[in-house]
Structure 1
Amino acid sequence: MNAGIKNVESDICGKSFTQKGTLERHMDVHAGINNRECDLHGEAFTRKGHLKRHMDTDTGINNHECDVCGKSFTKKPYLKSHMDMHAGIKNHTCAICGKAFIRKNHLKSHMDMHAGIKNHTCAICGKAFIRKNHLKLHMDMHAGIKNHKCAICGKAFTEKGTLKRHIHMHTGTKNHECDVCGKAFTQKGTLKLHMDVHAGIHNSECEVCGKAFTRKSHLKLHMEMHAGIRNHVCDICGKAFTRRGTLNLHMDKHAGIKNHKCAICGKAFTEKGFLKLHMDKHAGIKNHVCDICGKAFTRKSCLNRHMNIHTGIKNHICDICGKAFTEKGTLKLHMDMHAGIRNHVCDICGKAFTRKRHLKQHMDMHVCIKNHGCDIFGKAFTLKGNLNHHMAVHAGTKIHYCDVP
């Protein structure tokens, strides 16, 4: 019989074969005849070869070995697919986005992503996944299984990909660079989120105050702030924070770590944001203006404290004498006075002061600087308080009374 001639044809489907025996086995498929049964769990097959491949899978026999890396497989087609990976052959291409895959089933899973099909659902939290292996990794998270450990710091992860991204942090490798500002990132996804900032895209909006965020995770943290949730607690002073990163910065304060240094005056700060505000001071930038008196401030918090002066709100009260202050810092200086703490010492005469500005005024006296002048006959004083006493003389005001009858 000549090669390639198929002269025996199936009456049911019209498929033709070169040998009568092959047609008979094919007809068994139509008839549902499965004579060859697996001894392990009873699964039946039409052909002996199919049963053999199945048995190889059940018994874990890997007869098909890769010549490149030595990995072995139970079936020859699996080895062929594996070899395509080594060769970089990707014959299965997505018609929507053009992404190519080595295996057909990988393309199918990818197409499910385009269609939004998520057939694999977590029985614990209900989260759905496109791929079965993604669900498995998710279940490991619920079980607390972290098999992928960092060799540098020992931190463990559920997914190998997450560990790989973590390693980039140690090595400082940042291959994904922003075309707008040049900032580089370890992950492509992080760069994409960063580009949303440049584009002004804020899709995650707070339902309470309307503030919008680029990342969903940032909105989640913001919502915890509204709810008063502060899970990150300082072991030293007990202060609690919404974000772990904020706690880490707070711990730097306790440790005296100041990594952000001013290039102009050398002053160092624990946070990058504080350095930026400090640089605004050097640049004379004061964007926060008082609506009542027009005084401008570098920081919004400074403006808020200033507004307390206008409203007369004094929430900071001295436990010793009951005197109230608008600012916490002013109360602290006042408490130093009670404690007799005088850290600001005059280099000329050694006199010490609680406040730095009091020392400055004292130094003016040494150099005979008198900036406070009397409008009536021009006498000048070093301190404004001394001028006030002098003006009381002109006005005939007698503010000091004898307590003895």
Structure 2
Amino acid sequence: MPLYCLVGHVAEGTEHLFRTHICSECRRCFKTRSHLIEHMRIHFPDPSLQCPTCKHYFTSKSKLRVHMLRETGQKLHRCHLCEYGAVERNSLRRHLTSVHGHQEDDVPNGELFKCPTCQKTFSQSQALKSHMKSHNQTQNGQLLLCFHKGCSFQCAEKKQLQKHVLDAHQIEAVECRHHACAAFFGSLEDMEKHFRTHQAYHCSHCDFSCSNKSLFQQHKRQGHPGNQELKCSFCPFSTLNPVEFDQHVGHFHASEKTHHCSQCSFVTAHKRVLKRHMLMHT
């Protein structure tokens, strides 16, 4: 970052003492020589750093490149969790942190996303989304194909496909509710199964899915109800949710002397009760 200084504050010939580099044209000060050289291009424009569209001059090749990408609408950095795209990588990092709650390289480990149409699996949701479009569009991306097995019908517009499916197969086509997906399905259930593939995080115990890591972690912390009612040994509290039960005991009865089962979430204030409970696991 440039440093601004008053000429009277830096005596001529002593700039090196302050590690500054002063522009001879405007007396602006910089920490490094490279910053000064870049700044000098404002006073002496480089023809090779001029935008051919708007004729504006830039002080570096990187700034010109970013500007031209914005001019042409090219977004080289794509979010692997949604359809967001950015010209600069830093913009993508900010998007991942603010929208999805994690960093760019923070992706689910070991997750496999399965295509509901052909059962093919992918390690990234973005790859699955691209694959899913192949079931509904030809390679040139212009025509929509009928999803009904054995039907070769194709058309250019969504309404035509919906009308064909209804007339020929007596099926009311359901379009994916994702804003950037053009896939159609034969039922709402199939569409919802597919829609989950647009989300990056999938709960292995229920149908919950989302693209925000923090929200997913919150869901996991809440736990899933089991079949066994868990009763607190210290108060009338009871629940089917083991996570909720542990939170209750830890919050309200942390100072109590407790005995925990090594096989499940059962906890009691009495050692003899724990011994009786352990017989259930033998």
**TM-score normalised by L of structure 1:** 0.18
Q: Which one has a bigger Cα radius of gyration?
A: 1
**TM-score normalised by L of structure 2:** 0.24
